[in-house]
Structure 1
Amino acid sequence: MSTSAKVTSIIIPTYNGLPLLQRLIQSIRTYTDEQVTPYELIVVDNGSSDGTAEWCASSGITFVAVTGNIGFPSACNKGLRIASGEQLMLLNNDIVVTPNWLLNLSAGLAQEPSIGLAGPVTNYASGQQQVTYSFDGIEQFMRIAEQTNRSDPNARERVLRIVGLCMLFKREVYEKVGELDERFSPGHYEDDDYCLRIRMNGYGLMMCRDALIYHEGSASFRQQGEDTVKQLLARNRQLFIDKWGIDPSVFIGT
């Protein structure tokens, strides 16, 4: 391990998504060089009934077992509380990471002293982080990502918002800004809220176009049904407006 490398705590909330989690962790182990970008894995299991806790235990992965599904923000907070890294990452379980993903995100986070949070681009996201590539399956996507993920400071830009599917931030940001707001549980708009609070504390956000990752897209929320998700989005949007007195769609350009 490089003496100058900063350890990243990767926190992954999950609920009854063991095949997705296994695919994600396999990709992390395959495409993350621990000598260059050391990391620790922390899985927060929201009361899954599919053997997630048992698999984590047998695989030597640090995990927090929760008795029920407490939602994304609360699960993230539980993981953050036990994280030891100098860099902290919140990562959806329906991601597949790619060559140089963490190396380039870490470079983006360190590119300017005022940057507090960095995020990738992906095939499935709201706002600026969604990029369009034509691909047929994960293998072809990986080949595209290998070409795309060549470290390039000019491929990174400051933005007003980073989507919560993959957020890398400094420990000092967490210590200053605090935890995710659990009023947004089970999820949606807690990432908008966190980005706003980070910016209010004087930090910038960096989007890294040289860090392309694969996102399945709302895998956990799809289990709830379309109408339920629409109601949740409307409720949490109103919670955001009630908290800040601004409409997130106007303020953050989404």
Structure 2
Amino acid sequence: MTGMTSIIIPTYNGLHLLAPCVESIRKHTPVPYEIIVVDNGSVDGTVEYCIREKLILISMPSNAGFPAACNKGLSIADGDHLMLLNNDCLASRGWLTNLLAALYSSGDVGMVGPVTNYASGRQQVETSYSSREEYERFAAAWNQPDPSKWEETRRIVGLCLLFKRKVLQDVGFLDERFSPGHFEDDDYCYRARAYGYRLLICKDTFIHHEGSASFKAGHPNGWDAMVSRGRQLFIEKWGVDPHAFL
């Protein structure tokens, strides 16, 4: 497997999260990649940071939400493999190499994701670190390549979702009716499976996730309402409760 991975990171007033995220990617990713930051109208210096760090930047005039930002990034991505990554994640040693190995382990595998400290469903695992340094050691020990730890699943949380370009060509873009966010990742996984693609959780790959930090900052009073709205949209669209796939 060769080629480049496009890592698309939507962000909104999250420079304090974005900067360490980018730093961790640069530190732990020896395989070819590009970083595309889609800024949703931040006023915290994100644009200036991206220019200074020579990142590919799409600067939106206002906060269009997570699905729309992802689609903007996907529309300009040059990579053979595409990743949607939350700005509050930290990469780890071997993370992308392990994920790519699983993604290209079979022609019918379309999407893969890691395990983490904070996620709904089967991707959350117990951790034992309390600092950045401890996390680095924890993840390095965890991320030993082991195909026996790849598990087929019906959903992958969009905090770190890696998929083949052919999936984008076949399935299309994220459904922006789920904006500002929640359940657009469940919807995308459902569509990919309907197209015949298999999804894998890579339990040999761990990354840190701060946990819905940007959403809670941008929507401090409407968190539960947004979750409920996204779930209801999914039910109306597909006639099934997405919680059935947890």
Question: Taking structure 1 as the reference length, what is the TM-score of the superposition?
Answer: 0.95
Q: Which residue of 2 aligns with 1:146?
A: 140
User: Which amino acid in structure 2 is aligned with residue 110 of structure 1?
Assistant: Y
Cα separation, 1, equivalents of 2:7 and 2:140: 21
Superposition RMSD in Å? 1.0
What secondary structure does 1:70 align onto? coil
Structure 2 distance, partners of 1:135, 1:55, is: 29
Please give the per-residue CA displacement for 1:186-213, whole angstroms capped at 9, x wherever unaligned. 0000000000000000000011011100
| Partner SS, residue 16 of structure 2 | helix
| TM-aligned CA deviation for residue 226 of structure 1 | 5.5
Q: Does residue 75 in structure 1 map to residue 69 in structure 2?
A: yes
Structure 2 unpaired stretches of 5+:
none
- Matching residue within 32, 45, 48 for 2:29: 32
Give the distance between the partners of 2:60 and 2:127, measured in 1 at CA.
Answer: 38
Q: Distance in 2 between matches of 1:126 and 1:27?
A: 23
- Partners of 1:40 and 1:202 lie apart in 2 by 28
The answer to whether the Cα contact below 8 Å between 2:20 and 2:90 also exists between their aligned partners in 1 is: yes
- How far did 1:14 drift? 0.3
Structure 1: unaligned runs, 5 residues or longer? none
State the percentage of identical aligned residues: 54
When structure 1 is superposed on structure 2, of 23-32 and 134-143 the one drifting more is: 134-143
Specify which of 12, 21, 29 is matched with residue 9 of structure 2: 12
| Structure 1 moving runs of 4+ over 4 Å | 224-227
The one-character-per-residue Cα deviations of 1:137-157 (angstroms, maximum 9, x if unpaired) are 121111011011011111111
Structure 2: distance between partners of 1:49 and 1:226: 17
Residues 128, 138 of structure 2: 8 Å contact kept:
no
- In structure 1, C-alpha distance between the alignment counterparts of 2:197 and 2:103, rounded to whole Å: 11
Deviation (angstroms), 1:225: 5.2
TM-superposed deviation, 1:5: 2.0
Range 100-109 or range 225-234, more displaced: 225-234
Q: What is the aligned residue count?
A: 246
The residue aligned with 2:175 is: 181
Q: Tell me the equivalent position of 2:115.
A: 121
How far off its partner does 1:54 sit?
1.2
